[in-house]
Amino acid sequence: EPEVTQTPSHQVTQMGQEVILRCVPISNHLYFYWYRQILGQKVEFLVSFYNNEISEKSEIFDDQFSVERPDGSNFTLKIRSTKLEDSAMYFCASSGPRGEKLFFGSGTQLSVL
């Protein structure tokens, strides 16, 4: 069964450093998303991406965040200068032409020290 793949599974970084989280969505999907879950809190929407541009973003997704689809398969989330409060599990998701059903990756646990 096709799946969303995320790398790395764990990322530890120093505050102020840049990180790039990588995702390979399901190959025929058209919509791509990043969500995050801070420990003990709910899963929160960050950004959606369609047709090579951001279609929606939340208040969390400020100027420190960016997304890119550098080639036909990868979808990345970059945090330019990490803060302690960026520590969370980051989930990539994708959905097909009808869009409603999102498939999630296993997540990248980001720890900012």
Partner 1 sequence: DQQVKQNSPSLSVQEGRISILNCDYTNSMFDYFLWYKKYPAEGPTFLISISSIKDKNEDGRFTVFLNKSAKHLSLHIVPSQPGDSAVYFCAASGSGAGSYQLTFGKGTKLSVIP
Question: Using CB under 8 A as the criterion, which residues of the chain lie in contact with partner 1 when the complex forms?
Answer: 4, 6, 31, 33, 35, 41-45, 48, 50, 55-56, 91, 93, 95, 99-107
- Sheet of strand 19-24: strand arrangement: 5-7, 19-24, 75-79, 65-68
Q: Nearer Cβ to partner 1, position 43 or 66?
A: 43
Return the ∠ at Cα 101 (arms to 97 and 103), rounded to 5°: 100
Distance CA 23, CA 44 (A): 17
Least distance between partner 1 and beta carbon 81 (Å) = 25
Q: Nearer Cβ to partner 1, position 79 or 105?
A: 105
Asked if residues 50 and 58 have their Cβ atoms less than 8 Å apart, the reply is no
Q: Nearer Cβ to partner 1, position 17 or 22?
A: 22
Q: Nearer Cβ to partner 1, position 9 or 73?
A: 9
Report residue 43 as tokens.
Answer: 């899963």
Least distance between partner 1 and beta carbon 104 (Å) = 4
Least distance between partner 1 and beta carbon 107 (Å) = 5
Report residue 53 as tokens.
Answer: 């541009």
